[in-house]
Amino acid sequence: TQPPDVAASAAADTASSPFLRACRREPVPHTPVWFMRQAGRSLPEYRKAREGTAMLESCMRPDLVAEITLQPVRRHKVDAAIYFSDIVVPLKAIGVDVDIKPGVGPVVEKPIRSRADLERLRPLEPEDVSYVTEAVGILTRELGSTPLIGFAGAPFTLASYLVEGGPSKNHERTKALMYGDPELWAELLDRLADITAAFLKVQIEAGAAAVQLFDSWVGALAPEDYRRSVLPASAKVFGAVAGYGVPRIHFGVGTGELLPLMGEAGADVVGADWRVPVDEAARRVGPGKAIQGNLDPAVLFAPREAVERQAARILEAARGLEGHIFNLGHGVLPDTDPQALTDLVAYVHECSR
Ligand code: 1CP
């Protein structure tokens, strides 16, 4: 761990960064930009660094985590780094039999479906993830004035992997539990909220300047179900880290109808995918919150001029907003040309100056 004076000066350095200013809805010299999944398979230097190391194993090696987190910052000049990890890392850390299968995603050997299964979800202690503390320490020193975003999976999205046993299109077993045994469901989400909050705290205490809670698959729910069965757990996570004063970002895919509730859960910044224009997203979320988004990641496969037209459209829609962070509407697709991302960062900076 770093001495407090170093941590304090790093914090002072990042505080006036465009990214954190936009999160606080303050004026910015240019629109800040970063990309979900900016560290990863689109980069040749990532594939090289990862060679011969399994995904979850690489998440536990602080030197490798730091290197992979820094790669997109060096290459694309993005305004923020996102900590290289995965949403299932805290589950692995408490002993859940989860692995990340190449080309598939997280797979859970024995899914969680009964009350007895809940016992496998014990609380997360900081010592379970000491490699995270170490890696964040390295990163805050290396990043200088570029803020580091910590992250975690939200209770619903984590529950989906745990209950289904892997990636799922329809989340049928998850919904069967949610509708069929609301009490067990609430207990499951409550445990996951505590694990998630503890994991975010570790990252913030080690120096993360902001956190993003990914509820990637919650767009599968109707608003009433979200309010009753998900919001209390997500609100618990946001409430648990409110005292740190770091911006809290909340994002999910296909969440147009849920945006007001996701703000209500306690986010300072709400992420939108490409299906809702950013000005409309801001209207739905209401005053007092910044908006993040929302270029369709598939647009990056079009010629440069087309990418710029779509980016300009987003910047134009965001013109009147208090607080806009440019991002994609979901993660970078693996086959994206890295140069398209570098060009997009330069274009957003140039266009919004
Ligand atoms: O910038 C970054 O790349 C940061 C690293 C990062 C993040 C933020 C990874 C590395 N995973 C995540 C979060 C994550 N993981 C989410 C939320 C964000 C999102 O919606 O994209 C989700 C849903 C997961 C689950 C996951 N892990 C999937 C999706 C499977 C599905 O359900 O369709 C996959 C494929 C993974 C594996 C994974 N995580 C990260 C990488 C680089 C990989 C690929 C593994 C490999 O290279 O073998």
Nearest alpha carbon to residue 229 among 184, 178, 193, 181: 178
Would you say the CB of residue 144 lies under 6 angstroms from ligand 1? Answer: no
Residue 347 alpha carbon to ligand 1 centre in Å: 27
Within a domain: 138: yes
Evaluate whether 187 touches 181 at the Cβ level (below 8 Å): no
Residue 148 alpha carbon to ligand 1 centre in Å: 18
Which residue shows structure tokens 């806009």? Answer: 324
CA distance 296 to 294: 6
Look at residue 7 in the predicted model and tell me its pLDDT.
Answer: 55
Range of the domain at 115: 36-290
Tally of domains in the chain: 1
Look at residue 296 in the predicted model and tell me its pLDDT.
Answer: 98
CA distance 291 to 276: 12
pLDDT band at 326 (very low <50, low <70, confident <90, very high): very high
Nearest alpha carbon to residue 160 among 183, 176, 141: 176
Q: Residue with the nearest Cα to atom 40 of ligand 1?
A: 86
Evaluate whether 108 touches 97 at the Cβ level (below 8 Å): yes
The verdict on whether residue 161 carries a ligand-binding annotation is yes
Q: Has residue 295 got a pLDDT over 90?
A: yes
CA distance 88 to 153: 8
Within a domain: 339: no
Look at residue 251 in the predicted model and tell me its pLDDT.
Answer: 98
ipTM of the complex: 0.92
Within a domain: 90: yes
**Token pair recorded at residue 331:** 């993660």
Percent of the chain with pLDDT over 70: 97
Q: Tens of pLDDT along 261-282? A: 999 999 999 999 999 999 999 9
Mean pLDDT of the chain: 96
Nearest alpha carbon to residue 277 among 219, 320, 246: 320
Residue 174 alpha carbon to ligand 1 centre in Å: 20
Look at residue 145 in the predicted model and tell me its pLDDT.
Answer: 96
CA distance 327 to 271: 9
| Burial degree of 183 (CB within 10 A; 0-12, 13-18, 19+) | exposed
Q: What is the DSSP letter of 214?
A: E
Q: Has residue 78 got a pLDDT over 90?
A: yes
The verdict on whether residue 216 carries a ligand-binding annotation is yes
CA distance 330 to 347: 19
Residue 254, C-beta contacts closer than 8 angstroms, at least 6 positions apart: 219, 220, 273, 275
Q: Tens of pLDDT along 119-156? A: 999 999 999 999 999 999 999 999 999 999 999 999 99
Within a domain: 215: yes
Within a domain: 106: yes
Would you say the CB of residue 297 lies under 6 angstroms from ligand 1? Answer: no
Within a domain: 164: yes
Look at residue 13 in the predicted model and tell me its pLDDT.
Answer: 86
| Burial degree of 28 (CB within 10 A; 0-12, 13-18, 19+) | buried
Within a domain: 252: yes
Look at residue 280 in the predicted model and tell me its pLDDT.
Answer: 98
Within a domain: 187: yes
Atom of ligand 1 nearest to the CA of 100: 37
Question: Which long-range contacts (C-beta less than 8 Å, at least 24 apart) are formed by 90-95?
Answer: 90/124, 90/128, 90/129, 90/152, 90/195, 90/196, 90/198, 90/199, 91/121, 91/158, 91/162, 91/195, 92/56, 93/124, 93/128, 93/129, 94/121, 94/122, 94/123, 94/124, 94/128, 94/195, 95/120, 95/122
Q: What is the pTM of this model?
A: 0.96
Residue 250, C-beta contacts closer than 8 angstroms, at least 6 positions apart: 154, 212, 213, 215, 234, 238, 262, 263, 265, 266, 267, 269, 270, 271
Nearest alpha carbon to residue 256 among 218, 288, 225, 227: 218
Query: What mean pLDDT is predicted for residues 203-211?
Result: 98
The strand pair at 269-271 and 210-214 is best described as: unpaired
Which residue shows structure tokens 């997360």? Answer: 124
Catalytic site positions: 37, 41, 50, 86, 161
Reading across the β-sheet that carries 210-214, which strands appear in turn? 81-82, 148-153, 210-214, 248-251, 269-271, 290-295, 324-328
CATH number for position 264: 3.20.20.210
Check residue 25 and give left, alpha or beta (phi > 0: left; psi -120 to 50: alpha).
left
Phi then psi for 101, rounded to 5 degrees?
A: -90, 125
CA distance 100 to 253: 21
